[in-house]
Amino acid sequence: MSGLCEGRVAIVTGAGRGIGREHALSLARQGAKVVVNDLGAAVDGTGGDVSPAEEVVNEIKAMGGEAIANGDNVADWEGAQRLINSAIETFGDLHALVNNAGILRDRMLANMTEQEWDAVINVHLKGTFAPSRWAVAYWRERAKAGEPVSGRIVNTTSVSGIYGNLGQANYGAAKAGIAAFTNIVALEVARYGVTVNAVGPVALTRMTEGLGPAPENDEAREARAPHWIAPIVTWLCSEEAAGVTGRVFEASGEILAVAEGWVRGPSIDPLDDPTQLGPVVADLLSKARGNSGMDGVTGSWPQTMLDT
């Protein structure tokens, strides 16, 4: 197969279903050799079954591509190392890592358990860190040896993290952390020839079926189809994306956008008397842009909630 990623080797985590599956298939269509990683767990992270990953591998092979299945836990230190090594040992190299695996344990903060918090943070945040760490170690050694490196890391953040969503303090905190991780690691690895970006998808999958109202018609359902996320991820994994790093993209069947990060707003010289801050803060807030809501629009965050 030939295409945008011809000859490149890519790992996609959580690739047995939904968005990750579409990433793996798209990369394969564009010529990449793909490691399809998936534990085959339920939405809440319990259980395991490697057959979804194997099914995707079979789809890729049926279209003439090359792929292997991997069932390692991305949040496990040794498992993440085995995952990276599986690509190198099977296909001889690694060019792209797509960190997509995730789970949900949604609950309002007052009712959230420690286990629900820890499980989500572990899969999303550590499950992004651990494979990335081993991939970067591989690319760094190649760069130090004077070999050419064209590495790509594409992380999965969420509008729930960068903008905020009720009932998802654990998930949103992890996803906001991934956005920050993306920015920081991009600064660290540029010297090795590696880029790091993130995508915040909006799609209807088994993870999101119970969130918000169901699509009203076929057109609305198509706009939420997971295949709309794969094009930007595939492009970010390619040689063409060498000049793009440290950015967060929003992607869905309705929009492709660059999400702009925190910026300093209105400011004054510091005051050392807290009794003077009331009117000063009020003035600063009156000049500042409001928080974005889940639609990414400035000022659409529900300010009236502060009065409840």
- What pLDDT digit, counting tens, does each position of 169-223 carry? 999 999 999 999 999 999 999 999 999 999 999 866 555 555 555 656 676 666 7
Residue 264 in any domain: the answer is: no
Reported as a single tens digit per residue, the pLDDT across 273-302 is 999 999 999 999 999 998 888 888 887 766
The average pLDDT across 69-81 equals: 97
Instruction: Report helix angle 51-62 to 18-29, nearest 10.
Output: 30
Q: Which range has the worst mean pLDDT, 54-63, 151-160, 199-208?
A: 199-208
Task: Kindly state whether residues 227 and 280 are assigned to the same domain.
Answer: no
Quote the strand ranges of the chain, DSSP E. Answer: 9-12, 33-37, 67-70, 96-99, 151-156, 194-201, 248-251, 256-259
Neighbouring C-beta atoms of residue 46, cutoff 10 Å: 10
d(CA 185, CA 246): 8
Listing DSSP states for 212-263 in one string gives SPPPSSHHHHHHT-GGGTHHHHHHHTSGGGGG--S-EEEESSS-EEEEP---
Residue owning tokens 């993209």: 249
For residue 115, being part of any structural domain is answered with: yes
* 143 & 112 share domain: yes
Which among 14, 9, 33 is positioned nearest to 75, based on CA atoms? 14
Same domain, yes or no, for 250 and 158?
A: yes
What pTM was estimated for this model as a whole? 0.90
Same domain, 244 and 296: no
- Examine the domain organization and report whether 77 and 167 are in the same domain: yes
Do 120 and 157 have their domain in common? Answer: yes
Place of tokens 């920015």: 183
Which pLDDT does position 305 carry in this prediction?
A: 44
Rg for the chain (alpha carbons), in Å? 20
Same-domain check for residues 65 and 161: yes
Instruction: Tell whether 45 and 160 lie within a shared domain.
Output: yes
Sheet holding 248-251, edge to edge: 67-70, 33-37, 9-12, 96-99, 151-156, 194-201, 248-251, 256-259
Domain that includes residue 297, residue range:
274-307
The rounded distance, in Å, linking the Cα atoms of 178 and 259 is 14
Q: Are residues 230 and 293 in the same domain?
A: no
Judged against a pLDDT cut of 70, whether residue 45 lies above it is answered with no
Structure-model confidence comparison of residues 60 and 307, the more confident one: 60
In the chain, pLDDT over 70 holds for what percent of residues?
88
Residues 254 and 289 in one domain: no
Count the domains in the chain. 2
103 assigned to some structural domain: yes
- Res 307: pLDDT: 40
Looking at the fold, whether 219 and 288 belong to one and the same domain comes out as no
Q: Widest CA span of the chain, in angstroms?
A: 71
Confirm whether 207 is domain-assigned.
yes
One domain for residues 176 and 282: no
Active site residues: 171
Whole-number average pLDDT of the chain: 90
